Chain A
Amino acid sequence: MTLIETVENPFKPKAARIVRHYDLIKDHRFFQIRHIDMAKAMSFSYNPGQFIMLSIPGVGECPFSISSTPSRPGILELGVRRVGKLTESLFQKRDNEVVYIRGPYGNGFKLDKMVDKDLIIVAGGLGVIPLRSILYYALDNRDQFKRVFFLYGARTPNEFLFKTEFFQLKNRKDIECLYTVDKSDAEWPHATGVVTKLFKNLPEIDPSETTAVVVGPPVMYKFVIDEFLKLKIPKNLIQLSLERRMKCGIGKCGHCAIEHLYTCMDGPVFTYWDTLHFRELI
């Protein structure tokens, strides 16, 4: 039998090397990985907001948001929280060890709707991992955006991810960074309180010239979106990213279904307008 052995198999993950890793906070680790095939590494193109499926043979495969920006090609960055089987096994890996990846998957943020406007990025907790991609994308393509605001809230100073990087960003004149923690300690130099409290520090904005993105824990969405709506940002220009369980990433396994949508293909980024039509979304 002549089978199409040459057929592109979208489930076959490709080898990638862990270039570098370090702990962000307890149980949260940052990974830089690169396809072993250099041509693949350089040609791997993606949008902020997309994700990859990462495999460890014998353990399984899980989705992870891409935390790096496509404007800095070659290396993919991930931020991983240790929660279970696969992530535990990933935490055992050392630099130069091999993992397997496929992707990129999902729709990503709708960049065409965001350019030439003010951009408000609001992150809660782990949501900062995917948002870091759009954040650096905007900074690397600074002339494509008007003002850029970055609001990030964590529970405590010890749970604040990418602290060094993000604190340094505060020195830049072309972005306004506002940070907060729910419960602060003596050393914490920034605001205290939930992330929505930061909105009062924003300058006047023109809602017809502004887009907003928000990623965070499910409970956060409602409150942050209320703030966006108070600013009168159009519902279809508010984007959020949703996590569902995923087994395939390419619209086959059904695990990520919300009504008739597959989060892995039709999402994970949705506009607030979409979520109003699909009741199960948030």
Chain B
Amino acid sequence: MRILKMQSKFLDVFLESLNKFGNLYGPTYKNKVLSYDRLANISDLVLTDEHPMIPIKKLFHPMKFTMLHFNEMGFTPDYSTIEKRVILGVHPCEIHSLLILDSVFMREPMDPYYAQLRQNSAIIGFSCLPTENSLCFSTDTDIVEEGFDLFFVNLGEYFLVWVGSSLGHDMIYEREEFFDKNVTHDDIQEYVEWRQKKNKMFKKSFEFDSMPDIMELSYESEIWEEFAKICLSCGQCSMVCPTCNCYSVTDVFDVTNEQIGRRDRNWDSCMYVDYSLVAGGHNFRASRGNRLKLWYGHKLKTFGKDYGRPGCVGCGRCVDSCPVDINVLTISEALTTKEVPEK
């Protein structure tokens, strides 16, 4: 992969120039909450180590959108959410989460909404340093090798820029004057030191690699019931987890006409009580314990039949968000030590 060097002072001008390739999106403050959104100005972009509260999945698997319209003639797809976009400031764990979502939505038959949003979006990755609850070192998602068009590593005075796609190459080519092809031995040395420094900054870790076996052996563990007793079934964990993809579908009639309307898709969570109800009211996953097992099974054991890795990318959001401290750390610790952590 090609690596280039760019002086930090060029960053804003370069990023702004990318609007030639699509509307600019990135982390920005909306009502004091950091979130991925359309950037009116490049100055609205917030490059920080914090993750936006709602992960990047919202730009590809929107929280709510119209899939189809219907009338007397039948159904027609609505692709109005699809536009050319350049998404700036994407952290490594977020890029990993998209690769995992790809394995669901891009698998045949492809989801045409996700696929087209993906095909029309450039990913401009940015390095970050661990925050309080970052776990990506444990989950091996702290660096990325694929899934971006450009990736910027911030080394203070300058950035090292990885070119990950032919589109990324085109972007560089447009503003060649900003980039230095001579990446020296010293630059690489500085990068190596940066990584070593970063690796030492993680405050929290867990045994991700042994979790599939521990989960398997703990299927009958009463630990699950202990967590189930306190889980509120609020679904917050599914909203913030970048690799939760479940959704629900609802038809809505137009207020003015009983013949026309739309079919919407909305995020859903397997933590909600009615998630697995089938006809006749038989609920296959009635107990909270079973729902937690499904959730954590996907994050820590297996995710989909044909995909290699469990779904957790170590972003730490479940640690930040769960009101009763059920998260990958407390679950993995409890299953390993067989003790429910004291609150």
CA distance A58 to B257 in the complex (A): 11
**Interface flag for B219 (CB, 8 Å):** yes
Q: Are A59 and B249 in contact (CB under 8 A)?
A: no
From B51-59, B129-137, B196-204, B297-305, the one touching the partner chain is: B297-305
Q: Are A255 and B75 in contact (CB under 8 A)?
A: no
Q: Which residues of B contact A60 (CB under 8 A)?
A: 249-251
Q: Are B303 and A260 in contact (CB under 8 A)?
A: yes
Within 8 A of A (CB), among B303-340: 303-305
Q: Are B278 and A244 in contact (CB under 8 A)?
A: yes
CA distance A266 to B261 in the complex (A): 33
Q: Are B74 and A100 in contact (CB under 8 A)?
A: yes
CA distance A84 to B83 in the complex (A): 39
Closest to B22 in A: A1
Within 8 A of B (CB), among A1-31: 1, 3-5, 7-15
* Residue in B70, B219, B304 whose beta carbon sits within 8 Å of that of A58 in the complex: B70
1/0 per residue, CB under 8 A from B, across A53-64: the answer is 001011111000
Closest to B285 in A: A280
Could you tell me the dominant secondary structure of chain A's interface residues? loop
Given contacts A255-B275, A279-B219, contact A247 B77 (CB under 8 A): no
Q: Are A253 and B249 in contact (CB under 8 A)?
A: yes
Q: Are A81 and B279 in contact (CB under 8 A)?
A: yes
CB distance from B69 to the nearest CB of A (A): 10
Q: Which residues of B contact A262 (CB under 8 A)?
A: 304-305
Q: Are A57 and B251 in contact (CB under 8 A)?
A: yes
Within 8 A of A (CB), among B3-27: none
**Interface flag for B29 (CB, 8 Å):** no
* Residue in A3, A252, A280 whose beta carbon sits within 8 Å of that of B104 in the complex: A252
CA distance A279 to B290 in the complex (A): 11
- Give the one of B116, B219, B249, B301 with max A CB within 10 A: B249
**Interface flag for A218 (CB, 8 Å):** yes
* Residue in B79, B82, B250, B276 whose beta carbon sits within 8 Å of that of A245 in the complex: B276
Q: Are A15 and B270 in contact (CB under 8 A)?
A: no
**Interface flag for B150 (CB, 8 Å):** no
CB distance from A97 to the nearest CB of B (A): 12
From B35-43, B107-115, B140-148, B223-231, the one touching the partner chain is: B107-115
**Interface flag for B179 (CB, 8 Å):** no
**Interface flag for A118 (CB, 8 Å):** no
Interface size class of B (residues with CB under 8 A): 35 or more
Q: Are A1 and B294 in contact (CB under 8 A)?
A: no
* Residue in B109, B246, B252, B290 whose beta carbon sits within 8 Å of that of A255 in the complex: B246
Q: Are A247 and B249 in contact (CB under 8 A)?
A: yes
Could you tell me the dominant secondary structure of chain B's interface residues? mixed
Q: Are B251 and A59 in contact (CB under 8 A)?
A: yes
**Interface flag for B211 (CB, 8 Å):** no
Within 8 A of A (CB), among B170-208: none
**Interface flag for B169 (CB, 8 Å):** no
Q: Are A5 and B109 in contact (CB under 8 A)?
A: no
Given contacts A9-B77, A255-B276, contact A61 B249 (CB under 8 A): yes
CB distance from B290 to the nearest CB of A (A): 7
Within 8 A of A (CB), among B209-253: 219, 245-253
CA distance A39 to B163 in the complex (A): 48
**Interface flag for B156 (CB, 8 Å):** no
Q: Which residues of B contact A11 (CB under 8 A)?
A: 67-68, 77, 112, 263
CB distance from B22 to the nearest CB of A (A): 10
Q: Which residues of A contact B67 (CB under 8 A)?
A: 11
Closest to B105 in A: A252
**Interface flag for A251 (CB, 8 Å):** yes
Q: Are A57 and B276 in contact (CB under 8 A)?
A: no
Q: Which residues of A contact B276 (CB under 8 A)?
A: 244-245, 255
Q: Are A259 and B112 in contact (CB under 8 A)?
A: no
What are 12 inter-chain pairs, A to B, with CB distance below 8 A?
A1-B82, A9-B112, A10-B110, A11-B77, A57-B75, A58-B258, A252-B104, A255-B268, A255-B275, A257-B270, A259-B294, A259-B302
Extra A-B contacts (18), CB below 8 Å, given A1-B84, A15-B74, A254-B245: A5-B79, A7-B115, A8-B109, A11-B67, A11-B77, A12-B76, A13-B75, A55-B75, A57-B251, A58-B251, A58-B258, A245-B276, A247-B248, A248-B249, A251-B104, A257-B294, A260-B297, A266-B305
The 5 residue pairs across chains A and B that have the minimum distance between CB atoms: A254-B246, A260-B302, A57-B70, A10-B109, A83-B279
